[in-house]
């Protein structure tokens, strides 16, 4: 069994320190304990991302983020009972406590990230790449060389390491270059099929071209992103939220170059000099459950924001998943240059 003791973290540690521990350990969660190893709470990747959405600082004490009442097992229970608790609560890890609430073991359902997933991944790779001209005059944007190979190949490899092997590529501009390189995907250890946008369909409209509605949640991603997102955590987050659709988001900062004035009627109340504004923005990665297809019009232009607006109007559960991993949208020449500069460090 993996060394569960590496998941223990003391109550005085910060959110950032806990993030690092979770990313470094194979069990993908942390157990918060006091100086006597008494269980205080647990922290999952989902807990961390929800804290980020609430605007929590990376320096906050982990006690502000942890689940103080996690589901636990006891030493008096059998292994079969522990597994039953895990399955009935849809958990992957179960802390086992003994006398005085001390943590003495962790039982887990080990979903190996290398195991093949049934979920389909739809990659949107039909764009013109106008802002990257002249680089895209003769080649589609996803085939631009980043780190010595096509960006699209790195994207597929990123999914493959988490067990995703069923791909559909939505193609249009210079589609032959993509199809000739990847073909059916066999050379890359995956399965690839294609749908063609004969007209502009938008980031969600192409979903109506799929030959059949998937039976499992599918991931949809723009084909111009360089990212190291954990797709397992993304899918688990989507399922745990009981969402019809999940949008990945990034925190975007910008500084207002002026002093911002606040008033109460005609009275000046404060001046904030060149404040920094923070907002979450669409990161171009989505998880969609099969029910979402009822909201997508047939064979017409339809963007992902339009789809999420429809879900919101219909009072359906649409979730947001904050990306805390490396992410870069290669939409401009300077982004392409930055991607090549950072590739070796990120993907060595």
DSSP for 79-109, written as a single string: HHHHHHHHHHTT-SEEEEE-GGGBEEEEEE-
Domain end among 61, 77, 108: 108
> Is 151 found in the same domain as 67?
no
Q: Please report which confidence band the pLDDT of residue 2 belongs to, taking 50, 70 and 90 as the band edges.
A: low
> Is 208 found in the same domain as 328?
yes
Domain count across the chain: 2
To 5 degrees, how large is the angle CA 250–CA 18–CA 155?
Answer: 40
> Is 78 found in the same domain as 10?
yes
How high is the pLDDT of residue 87? 82
Q: Which long-range contacts (CB under 8 A, 24 or more apart) does 310-316 make?
A: 311/244, 311/245, 316/244, 316/245
What gap in Å lies between CA 17 and CA 40, rounded to an integer? Answer: 17
pLDDT at 111 exceeding the cut of 60: no
CB 96 within 8 A of CB 196: no
Q: In this predicted model, what pLDDT tens digit does every residue of 253-273 receive, in sequence order?
A: 777 888 888 887 778 888 888
Q: In this predicted model, what pLDDT tens digit does every residue of 31-57 receive, in sequence order?
A: 999 988 899 999 988 888 888 888 888
Domain end among 51, 76, 108: 108
Domain end among 108, 136, 168: 108
Q: Report which DSSP code applies to 142.
A: G
Residue 38 bridge partners (DSSP) = 102
pTM: 0.77
How high is the pLDDT of residue 115? 67
How high is the pLDDT of residue 113? 43
What gap in Å lies between CA 89 and CA 67, rounded to an integer? Answer: 15
Q: Please report which confidence band the pLDDT of residue 110 belongs to, taking 50, 70 and 90 as the band edges.
A: low
As given in the structure block, the two tokens for residue 5 are 């003791």
Q: Is 254 exposed, middle or buried (0-12, 13-18, 19+ CB in 10 A)?
A: exposed
> Is 44 found in the same domain as 144?
no
Return the closest-CA partner of residue 151 out of 120, 192, 176, 123: 123
> Is 282 found in the same domain as 145?
yes
Give the CATH number for residue 104.
3.10.580.10
> Is 126 found in the same domain as 24?
no
Per DSSP, the three-state class of 246 is strand
Q: In this predicted model, what pLDDT tens digit does every residue of 279-299 receive, in sequence order?
A: 788 899 999 999 999 999 888
pLDDT at 114 exceeding the cut of 80: no
> Is 253 found in the same domain as 328?
yes
What gap in Å lies between CA 288 and CA 293, rounded to an integer? Answer: 8
Q: Please report which confidence band the pLDDT of residue 132 belongs to, taking 50, 70 and 90 as the band edges.
A: confident
> Is 336 found in the same domain as 206?
yes
How high is the pLDDT of residue 176? 92
> Is 332 found in the same domain as 281?
yes
Domain assignment of residue 100, given as a range: 4-108
Which ranges of 121-164 does DSSP label H, i.e. alpha helix?
A: 151-160
Give the CATH number for residue 224.
3.90.550.10
Per DSSP, the three-state class of 259 is strand
How high is the pLDDT of residue 124? 92
> Is 275 found in the same domain as 181?
yes
What gap in Å lies between CA 169 and CA 189, rounded to an integer? Answer: 16
Return the closest-CA partner of residue 170 out of 69, 304, 72: 304
Per DSSP, the three-state class of 282 is strand
> Is 217 found in the same domain as 140?
yes
> Is 160 found in the same domain as 212?
yes
What gap in Å lies between CA 27 and CA 106, rounded to an integer? Answer: 10
- Give CA 57 to chain center in angstroms: 20
């Amino acid at each position: 069994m993996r060394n569960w003791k590496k998941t223990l973290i003391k109550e005085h540690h910060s959110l950032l320190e806990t993030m690092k521990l979770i990313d470094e350990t194979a069990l993908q969660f942390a157990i918060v304990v006091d100086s006597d190893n008494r269980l205080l709470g647990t922290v999952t990747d989902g807990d961390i991302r929800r804290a980020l959405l609430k605007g929590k600082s990376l320096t906050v004490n982990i006690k502000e983020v942890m689940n103080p009442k996690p589901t636990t097992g006891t030493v008096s229970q059998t292994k079969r009972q522990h597994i039953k608790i895990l399955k009935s609560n849809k958990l992957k890890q179960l802390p086992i406590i003994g006398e005085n609430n001390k943590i003495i073991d962790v039982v887990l359902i080990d979903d190996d990230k290398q195991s093949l997933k049934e979920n389909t991944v739809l990659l949107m790779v039909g764009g013109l790449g106008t802002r990257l001209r002249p680089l895209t005059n003769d080649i589609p944007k996803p085939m631009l060389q980043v780190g010595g190979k096509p960006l699209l190949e790195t994207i597929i490899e990123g999914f493959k390491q988490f067990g995703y092997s069923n791909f559909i590529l939505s193609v249009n501009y210079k589609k032959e270059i993509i199809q000739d390189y990847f073909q059916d995907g066999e050379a890359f250890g995956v399965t690839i099929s294609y749908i063609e946008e004969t007209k502009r369909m938008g980031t969600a409209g192409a979903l109506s071209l799929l030959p059949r509605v998937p039976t499992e949640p599918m991931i949809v991603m723009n084909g111009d992103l360089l990212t190291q997102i954990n797709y397992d955590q993304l899918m688990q987050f989507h399922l745990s939220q009981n969402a019809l659709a999940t949008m990945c988001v990034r925190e975007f900062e910008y500084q207002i170059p002026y002093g911002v004035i606040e008033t109460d009627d005609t009275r000046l109340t404060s001046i904030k000099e060149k404040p920094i504004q923070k907002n979450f923005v669409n990161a171009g990665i989505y998880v969609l459950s099969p029910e979402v297809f009822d909201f997508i019009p047939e064979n017409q232009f339809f963007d992902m924001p339009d789809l999420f607006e429809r879900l919101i109007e219909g009072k359906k559960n649409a979730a947001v998943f904050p990306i805390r991993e490396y992410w870069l949208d290669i939409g401009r020449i300077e982004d392409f240059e930055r991607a090549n500069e950072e590739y070796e460090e990120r993907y060595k």
